Amino acid sequence: MAQEELSIIAEPRDWLPLALPGTEGVSVKVYKVDEANRTVVLKARFDPGSRMPRHQHHCRAIAYTVSGEWAYDEGSFAPGALAYEMFGNDHIPFSEKGTEMFITFVSDTDQFLDNDLPDGSTLHLGLPWFKALEGATLEQYQKLDQMSLVEIHPKKRIAA
């Protein structure tokens, strides 16, 4: 097996508290961003009572619940449950009790997630944003200008 065919990624990694509109109480650890295959692998943690903004998928997402409980429009997930989400999925994930999940995003393009903003525009999380968080320490993360790594679109986009 060639070395580039295998990535061994060990803990510990710092939890990075998201600093984007509507993401209070949500943290991530971005383990791997494979730009050639348009794949992102991360862990997400929701503090009790936290939620993400409504968002649309421009990718497939596979979310495995490690601990706690979380839910969105389509259902709820306990430890061991798996959510398999397709392009166009539109929902608001939240957790009343807190949760930790392992997520893989796979896209056919460089598009991943659009978060709805209160003014009707959308904040797009694409490869540059995920790449900047890959393996970042908390200290590195705190120095990032996250808004320079995202795109703002004037209205909601249809997932292709």
CA distance 43 to 22: 18
Amino acid 25 reads: G
- Tens of pLDDT along the chain (160 residues) come to 445 677 777 767 899 999 899 999 999 999 999 999 999 999 999 999 999 999 999 999 999 999 999 999 888 999 999 999 999 999 999 999 999 999 999 999 888 999 999 999 999 999 999 999 999 999 999 999 988 999 999 988 887 6
The full set of domain ranges for the chain reads 14-153
CA distance 127 to 104: 13
Q: Residue 66 in contact with residue 23, Cβ under 8 Å?
A: no
Give the three-state DSSP class for 5: helix
- Is 2.60.120.10 the CATH classification of the domain at 14-153? yes
CB atoms inside a 10 Å sphere around CB 159: 17
pTM for this entry: 0.92
